[in-house]
Amino acid sequence: MKFLVCIKQVPDVSGSLQTGRMVLNAYDASAVEAALVLSEGTENDIHLVLIGPESARETIRKALAMGADSATHLVTSDNAELNSSAVALILATFVRSGKYDIIACGKQSQDTDAGLTGGMLAEHLGIPFVTNAVGLELRKENSESRLIVTRQGDSGQEIIELPAPCLVTCSNDMNDPRIPSLKGIMQAKKKEIVSSPVADAVRSDTLVLAVEDPPSRAPARILDGKLEDQVTELVRVLEEESGVL
């Protein structure tokens, strides 16, 4: 069975965006981990694909160090602006050039939180898909493999069976992605990364004007005294200072 895991390099949102530090999208790391767990003790092949500039190659190496077998880097210019629709179109063209049983994506990316690419990609390919997966299981019946997906819905969990080929988008609540070992890091340096340029004709119909840190918040205020006094003071603050009431 062949897995394709779509990964993305994103700004590190754990600190200031102005540092420019780029990391592997956390949701995609969960997708890589899910593919690795499903493939343990099997001959499954896990291939990664990333769309991004030359500098994203290091992010691919980090994902390979987790245990994936190989990768494709669809190279863009440093200033390329690609929205979900453009990314899905590029990925669909790439997927059609190979044969994959299960395509796994993060349910969204840390930078935009759009969560659209996976569904758009599945629609381009005409394959069934499930979003927001929190659990995956492979079952084989009569030489046919099926993916059992547990997804988190609005009112509870749902269990859905998908035939291959299929696509699933993974929640970061699914697992704790492994930290690459020293052996994995050394092996990743020898694993194949095929580079292919993205056609300039593929363009986004949206434009990002700026990326900024969220505005800082004033420190929390703790009200002292008896409960009645706290309630009175809270009402006064909401009316006079905040204008909420």
Q: What CATH number corresponds to the domain at position 86? A: 3.40.50.620
Per-residue pLDDT, 29: 96
38-59 pLDDT tens trace: 999 889 999 999 999 999 999 9
Whether residue 209 is contained in a domain is answered as: no
Higher pLDDT, 159 or 214: 159
Per-residue pLDDT, 169: 96
Whether residue 207 is contained in a domain is answered as: no
Task: State whether 9 and 71 are in the same domain.
Answer: yes
Whether residue 148 is contained in a domain is answered as: yes
Per-residue pLDDT, 171: 95
Ranking 70-79, 139-148, 186-195, 221-230 by mean pLDDT, the lowest is 139-148
Task: State whether 136 and 232 are in the same domain.
Answer: no
Whether residue 60 is contained in a domain is answered as: yes
Per-residue pLDDT, 28: 96
Strand partners, 133: 151, 170
d(CA 20, CA 9): 12
Whether residue 120 is contained in a domain is answered as: yes
pTM for the whole structure: 0.84
d(CA 49, CA 20): 22
110-135 pLDDT tens trace: 888 899 999 999 999 999 999 999 99
Task: State whether 122 and 24 are in the same domain.
Answer: yes
How confident is residue 137, by pLDDT bands cut at 50, 70 and 90? very high
Whether residue 203 is contained in a domain is answered as: no
Structure tokens at 128: 């069934």
Task: State whether 159 and 225 are in the same domain.
Answer: no
Distant-in-sequence, close-in-space partners of 186: CB < 8 Å, separation ≥ 6: none
Per-residue pLDDT, 221: 83
Task: State whether 153 and 244 are in the same domain.
Answer: no
Enclosing domain of residue 86: 2-197
d(CA 120, CA 169): 11
d(CA 42, CA 49): 21
The predicted model gives 83-91 an average pLDDT of: 93
How confident is residue 63, by pLDDT bands cut at 50, 70 and 90? very high
Helix, strand, coil % over all residues of the chain, rounded to 5: 30, 30, 40
Count up the domains in the chain and report the number. Answer: 2
Distant-in-sequence, close-in-space partners of 141: CB < 8 Å, separation ≥ 6: none
Segment 204-209 long-range contacts (CB within 8 Å, at least 24 positions apart): 204/81, 204/82, 204/83, 204/85, 204/86, 205/83, 205/85, 205/86, 206/81, 206/83, 207/81, 208/81
Per-residue pLDDT, 79: 79
Whether residue 165 is contained in a domain is answered as: yes
Task: State whether 36 and 119 are in the same domain.
Answer: yes
* Residue 16 scores a pLDDT above 70: no
Task: State whether 68 and 113 are in the same domain.
Answer: yes
Per-residue pLDDT, 62: 95
How confident is residue 155, by pLDDT bands cut at 50, 70 and 90? confident
Residue that has been written with the tokens 């995956």 in this structure? 136
Per-residue pLDDT, 143: 75
Per-residue pLDDT, 18: 61
